A and B are shown apart, each in its own frame.
Chain A
Amino acid sequence: MIDVLTRMLRTGVLTEPGAGPEDSAPTAEILHNSLYGLLGRALSIRHVDAGSCNGCELEIAALHNPYYNLEGRGVHFVASPRHADLLLVTGPVSVNMEEALKRTYDAAPDPKLVIALGDCASCGGVFGQNYASRGAIANVIPVHLTIPGCPPDPVTILTGILKAVRTIRLTA
């Protein structure tokens, strides 16, 4: 236990004031305040892998590390689409995931936001469309915002989430 405590103390607080060095990156405060102002509570995100290569997932997972500290900024990943304000969808839509994606979309309560994350989700990426791939997410469910990149880095994802929440009012 002593070891754990010592290491915690030595590590200190790593969360960066801004989500990254770039000017355009949202600061913790802006993100937090924007979300709070818009929703009056935390933003709940449901991630859906509609056929991705797992690269985009790794960068979403990175948002939970102490540098980005997404949960600490009022963004919460939930286990069920029924609890979600926003669907963060990755991958080209594989034909085998089409039905599951549609069902997940239907299960999310209105009003709902959909972000297509990554090049594949935005336009089909390197996989394109064929007998097994429907390409972009927008070919299957309505999409509000795309975040390009292969995979997009955590700062880009964070910026995109904020942009989506800002531009599209969730509260009726």
Chain B
Amino acid sequence: MEVFVEQGELMQQGADLPSNVECRRLCVDREQWLQTVQTLSSSAARLLSLWGADDRDRDGCFRIYAAWLLPASVLVLEHPIDDGGLGAATAPSYPGLARFFPSARRMQRALHDLLGVVAEEQERDERGWLRHGGWPDNLYPLRRDADGHQSYPVVSAAYPFVTVQGDGVHEIAVGPVHAGTIEPGHFRFSVVGEKMLRLEERLGYTHKGVARRFQELTQLEGHRLAARLSGDSAVAFSWAYCAALESVTTTPCPGRATLLRALALEHERMANHLGDIGAIGNDAGFAFGFTQFSRLKEDLLRANRSVFGARYLMDYVLPGGVAADLPQNAHSTLLNVYRDLEAGVLAMRAIYGEHAGLRDRLHETGRLGREIAEQMGALGLPARASGVACDLRADHPWAPYDKLLQKLSDKAPLWPITHPDGDVAARVQVRFDELLQCLELCRVLLEEISSPALSGPAQRSVQAALPAAAPYRLGMGLIEGWRGPVMVALETGTDGAIRRCHAHDSSWQNWPLLEYAILGNIVPDFPLINKSFNLSYSGQDG
């Protein structure tokens, strides 16, 4: 196939993949996989996710999938690997991506842990990523003949970290239980004095076997698990899941419900940004910032409870729509909340900008240059704060964002919001700007929700019934959560079952960036830098 030259031509190939965004699926053999990956690496494509499935029960193959974000669409490559017959001596393998897309490295390790399929790399990292000795070496939980239900005793094995040698170099090991109220993970620092020479992350501690768990749920239950992959991104993940299922069943979500989902998603973004800016202030010794922002966040959560019925929207987005419409007085309640939030955020932005002590701590700290961000395939907020303009709401707008862009007034900057500096201050600034943009957007959404066009009895519906999905269909949901893109690839099984569901958080791409951002900084600044990224553990560990 010599056609694999131009990206435009690439997109001519293959078939449409049901999704809430423009998406194509291309089935390739080994040669084509190699060629295509190479072509993609010399284009503007960014790796979105890598996953696999055991289809030996159907056609004797394992399948490897990889998804890329292209400028105007998403491309999913599908590569079947014949397992060489039962009991084959060598593990099935595929050409690795890490040479071209460094962010694939950990995904490949995780894929091996779960499915036992090896990525061919010149220097393959053979250490387990999700596998920490909690189940037998020969058990690959996503293989259909594996017993994923059993409990096994933990057999801890050594995990050799890369060591740095030199005069006065020593290591600091932190975690998995951290000193604050945060998720577990392990950080190994190599330091000289207080200067950090190297950081190596070891994650996977919160791996709960969700991919396997999905397969025990029905399609109409999966959104509940999706919402709980990362509690701070419940709306993003449950929406991505529902978008995938609705695409597969070609069920359009009612217009009103689509707007309500966007409203909930923007509330989620605001709540997290408010919390983060306060917590970053706190880590920089500015407790006043924490007090103010944690108050603003609480105000928003209370508003959530009064209009959405819960502070955290774990069960708001459902297949076919949302759990409930807004109550009667929601509009005025929300407009008041937005007004107060805006006043608070503007006042605090001025204070954060002028406070000498804070500026001293935030500027030039934890810098991630644009070049590295691009090379490493950064996504979402950290990418934007390093000057990389990427935001699915602008680049791959899905309903209702496709219509909203032009409705935003001049007051709110258009997506995506970027900052050239790449330091902690830039990540704070992007959050401030996004908050103000969110507020504007929420007002527009409220206006749309109450427009006469949506007030007829037929338009008031917030939930559509889903027809039964045909088996063995793949669908894709892609949502810009507050951290960055959140993806769910869902394959239907027979009788409403989930055959395979892969969820991906952009933290996969962004955790390795933290290892760069800390270089040359001092140990006491690590919490601050880490907080400014605020990446997900649970969302990544799965």
Give the B-binding residues of A (Cβ under 8 A).
Answer: 3-4, 7-8, 11, 14, 47-62, 64-67, 77, 79-81, 91-92, 94-100, 104, 125-134, 150-151, 153
Known: A61-B181, A98-B134, A131-B139. A3 touches B347 (CB 8 A): yes
Distance (whole angstroms) from the CB of B277 to the closest CB of chain A = 14
Known: A100-B176, A131-B212. A58 touches B148 (CB 8 A): no
B355 nearest in chain A by CB position: A4
Q: A127: which of B147, B176, B208 is its contact (CB, 8 Å)?
A: B208
Produce 1/0 per residue, B395-420, CB < 8 A to A.
00000000000000000000000000
Produce 1/0 per residue, B335-377, CB < 8 A to A.
0000000000001101100110000000000000000000000
Question: Considering residues B147, B151, B351, which has the most beta carbons from chain A within 10 angstroms of its beta carbon?
Answer: B151
Known: A52-B206, A55-B232. A128 touches B288 (CB 8 A): no
Q: How far is the CA of A126 from the CA of B222 in the complex (A)?
A: 10
Q: Do residues B314 and A95 form an inter-chain contact, with CB atoms below 8 A?
A: no
Q: A55: which of B181, B312, B355 is its contact (CB, 8 Å)?
A: B312
Distance (whole angstroms) from the CB of B243 to the closest CB of chain A = 20
Q: Do residues A55 and B350 form an inter-chain contact, with CB atoms below 8 A?
A: no
Q: Which residues of B contact A60 (CB under 8 A)?
A: 181
B100 within 8 A of A: no
Q: How far is the CA of A16 from the CA of B536 in the complex (A)?
A: 32
Q: How far is the CA of A126 from the CA of B184 in the complex (A)?
A: 20
Produce 1/0 per residue, B191-230, CB < 8 A to A.
0000000000000111111101100000000001100111
Q: B225: which of A3, A67, A126 is its contact (CB, 8 Å)?
A: A126
Known contacts A11-B291, A54-B183; can you find 18 more A-B pairs with CB under 8 A? A7-B292, A55-B231, A57-B182, A57-B231, A59-B311, A66-B295, A77-B181, A80-B179, A96-B205, A96-B207, A98-B154, A104-B177, A126-B225, A130-B141, A130-B148, A132-B134, A133-B209, A151-B314
Q: How far is the CA of A49 from the CA of B147 in the complex (A)?
A: 27
17 residue pairs of the A-B complex, CB under 8 angstroms, read: A49-B177, A49-B181, A49-B182, A49-B206, A51-B208, A79-B179, A81-B177, A96-B204, A98-B154, A99-B154, A99-B156, A126-B228, A131-B135, A131-B141, A132-B207, A132-B208, A132-B212
Q: Which residues of A contact B228 (CB under 8 A)?
A: 53, 55, 125-127, 150
Q: Which residues of A contact B275 (CB under 8 A)?
A: 58, 61
